[in-house]
Structure 1
Amino acid sequence: MFLQILVGFYIGLSIYIIFLFKKIFFQVSEGHLAVLTSFGKVVFKNETEKSLKTFQSGLHMKWPWQKVHFISIMEQMIDLSGDDGCTMAMASDGTLLRIDSKLRFTPLKNELYSFLFSMERSFEHIKGLFICLLHQEIGSFDKKNPINNTTKLNTEVSSFASIRSKRGLLNIQIQDFCKNKIPNSYGIEFNGVDITDILPPNELANALNAVINSQSEAQRLYALTEAECEQRLLAAKKGIAIAKAKAKAIEEDIQKISEVLSELQRNNTLNLYIERRSMEVYSDAKISYIKRTL
């Protein structure tokens, strides 16, 4: 009986030690940091400077009542698109654009308190902040980058075409604004906003497709008409050449007959030739019908 109690005691002690081991030791993966909270209060390295006590990658110890918070210090990416797969932004001319974009940032090691504990939902907060910033930059893009007079005289460029053609410049302006204007109070280092695609609204897209289809159809009809006209022109040129050849042959025949008749006239045999030809013509008629009135 005593042996059974002793075995049970050791088994319970082993389970407790294993449980205690899991509560005391924790592992931090590479590219991550860990911070501790004790009864809900964060563990500081320097409380006056809000500097957290962080743990690098590896195996570490803590008190059983302390809770571990892991944070990745690698570059992270947030999709700024909405529930529909894109975010909507209004350009300076009132065109509502659909934009696919991604935010790249890195949490700052010295500002982890701001990132972890100053915002309830840090990722949603940062996402909303940069969506507002993106809307602001797109709305004022044409004012910051006006079109020169030569371009205005040649064609009327819409905000959609301007932003789409200068997407790289827009990315640079957003990046410069964030680095210069947004402080480190959010606990992140801004790396960039990647605008992957800029799409027009459905109405404008349908209108552009209709214009493209109309242009393609007009070019097709123009090519067919041009080919048909060239074919007719070539046929007309060939017809003129054939008519000229026939006219030249007839002219040569008339010239030759005129020379023969002139020769007969000079020899005083023209009348005899005419009489002989008349007799030949009459002799070719085998039967003559003479219509008489009854």
Structure 2
Amino acid sequence: MLFTAFLFGLAIYSIYRVVIRAVFTVKPNERAVLTSFGRAQRFGELPVDDPRMTEEERARYRFPRLQMIRPGGPYFKWPWQQVHKVDVATQALDLTWDPTKRQDTIEAVTKDNLTTGVNGQVRFRVSEDNLYPFVFGVADPLQHVMGYFVSVLRERIANFADPKGQRLLSMVPATSEAQGDGAGPDLSEGVSINDLRKNLPLLNEYMEQQCATTGTRYGIELEAALITQIDPPLEVDRALSAINSTRNQVAADISTARADAEQQITMSKRAVDIATNNAQAEVAPLKELADTLVRIKAEGGSAALAAYVRNMRIPLLRNARRIVQTTGHSTPA
């Protein structure tokens, strides 16, 4: 009786292990890798030709290409085989995700030695062409990649400088730079937290470029970095607000002074043009009279010139109030 029950139980267990658990399916968003006694089916090696990696890194991250089971089923496996399913859909994680601890923000030190909080998201997906490092290479690949991403982010924040910072330098007079008063470097560097807030797209683009090799290294492809917030401590934020207000006021005063100077220059140029036109208007009749006298003398001689001068003096003598006689010549006054 006991032996019969044992055989019946063994048969049920065999049916469960060999028949029921031997059949599996793969969902549309999944890919599966089948291992026999812990070894996956392989066919060659995946070439590593990323120019951003060194020769030593290429040799280290050269992984075999695995035989992948695509969505569908049912598939059959033997009891000594094991199925490893991987979700290849695009997923999103907060930067604060860490299975070992709970945190509300990622702390990073800026170029000005200020501790600031960073928040955002990362979109990623598992690389179908390089499943080996994700399934077998790292114990927790997602945690490893997030640590790599945060490390690169902190390094970038610690060395970030506004690429357009030189625009403030043009507002400083050349005499101040010649005197070496130090105003130029202070204006050109700016405040690192302000620079980071204004250049979040550049920071996200840099992170995507630097993390483009994670697909080769860890089998996880980072599709987008969405850093949305950079929040310094409250007292630092208040100080930055005061600095920004002062800089805005200085920029407004500089703009007003430049507008006034340009207006004065324009008015001076117009006054010079008016004076030049008036002088030319006064000189033009004199030039015309001189040309006329030259032509009269050339055509009629001295007698004709004397007659012309006499005729021109008659209206003047008529309007004169008195005449002064000197050495036989009269001069109207």
Whether TM exceeds 0.5 here: the answer is yes
Shift of residue 175, structure 1, vs aligned partner: 1.6
Distance 1:26 1:97, change over 3 A: same
State the match for 1:203 in structure 2: 235
Distance 1:170 1:27, change over 3 A: same
Mapped to 1, the partners of 2:24 and 2:124 lie a distance apart of 27
Return the match for 1:44 from 41, 46, 57.
41
Contact 1:78-1:127 within 8 A present in 2 as well: no
Q: Which amino acid aligns with 1:140?
A: N
Distance 1:175 1:15, change over 3 A: closer
Shift of residue 189, structure 1, vs aligned partner: 2.0
Q: Which amino acid aligns with 2:127?
A: L
Aligned length: 206
Mapped to 2, the partners of 1:60 and 1:168 lie a distance apart of 46
Q: Rg larger in 1 or in 2?
A: 1
Structure 2 residue matching 1:148: 3-state secondary structure? helix
Return the match for 1:78 from 87, 90, 93.
93
State the match for 1:167 in structure 2: 200
Distance 1:114 1:12, change over 3 A: closer
Structure 2 residue matching 1:142: 3-state secondary structure? coil
Distance 1:63 1:182, change over 3 A: closer
State the match for 1:188 in structure 2: 220
Residues 151-183 of structure 1 deviation map (CA, whole Å, 9 limit, x = unaligned): 68489541111111221121122223333x656
Residues 102-149 of structure 1 deviation map (CA, whole Å, 9 limit, x = unaligned): 222221112100222111211111011000111122222206x25024
Shift of residue 48, structure 1, vs aligned partner: 4.8
Return the match for 2:166 from 128, 135, 148.
148
TM-score, normalisation: structure 1: 0.60
Contact 1:111-1:185 within 8 A present in 2 as well: no
Shift of residue 72, structure 1, vs aligned partner: 0.9
TM-score, normalisation: structure 2: 0.54
Contact 1:97-1:199 within 8 A present in 2 as well: yes
Mapped to 2, the partners of 1:203 and 1:152 lie a distance apart of 31
Contact 2:214-2:221 within 8 A present in 1 as well: no
Shift of residue 39, structure 1, vs aligned partner: 2.2
RMSD of aligned residue pairs (Cα, Å): 3.2
State the match for 1:279 in structure 2: none
Structure 1 residue matching 2:32: 3-state secondary structure? strand
Mapped to 2, the partners of 1:113 and 1:8 lie a distance apart of 41
Distance 1:8 1:136, change over 3 A: closer
Shift of residue 87, structure 1, vs aligned partner: 0.6
State the match for 1:272 in structure 2: none
Moved segments of 4+, more than 6 Å: 7-12
Distance 1:26 1:204, change over 3 A: same
Mapped to 2, the partners of 1:100 and 1:193 lie a distance apart of 11
Q: Which amino acid aligns with 1:200?
A: P
Q: Which amino acid aligns with 2:204?
A: N
Contact 1:96-1:201 within 8 A present in 2 as well: yes
Structure 1 gap segments, 5+ residues each? 216-294
State the match for 2:306 in structure 1: none
The answer to whether the aligner puts 1:17 opposite 2:29 as a matched pair is no
Q: Which amino acid aligns with 2:89?
A: M
State the match for 1:278 in structure 2: none
Distance 1:182 1:121, change over 3 A: closer
Structure 2 gap segments, 5+ residues each? 47-63, 173-185, 247-333
Shift of residue 14, structure 1, vs aligned partner: 5.4
Mapped to 2, the partners of 1:8 and 1:127 lie a distance apart of 51
Contact 2:119-2:228 within 8 A present in 1 as well: yes
Shift of residue 74, structure 1, vs aligned partner: 1.1
State the match for 1:92 in structure 2: 111
Mapped to 2, the partners of 1:137 and 1:182 lie a distance apart of 17
Contact 1:107-1:188 within 8 A present in 2 as well: yes
Q: Which amino acid aligns with 2:165?
A: I
Contact 2:133-2:217 within 8 A present in 1 as well: yes
Structure 2 residue matching 1:131: 3-state secondary structure? helix
Structure 2 residue matching 1:93: 3-state secondary structure? coil
Mapped to 2, the partners of 1:71 and 1:80 lie a distance apart of 22
Shift of residue 46, structure 1, vs aligned partner: 1.0
Return the match for 2:210 from 144, 165, 177.
177
Q: Which amino acid aligns with 1:46?
A: F
Shift of residue 12, structure 1, vs aligned partner: 6.6
Contact 2:17-2:79 within 8 A present in 1 as well: no
The answer to whether the aligner puts 1:30 opposite 2:28 as a matched pair is yes
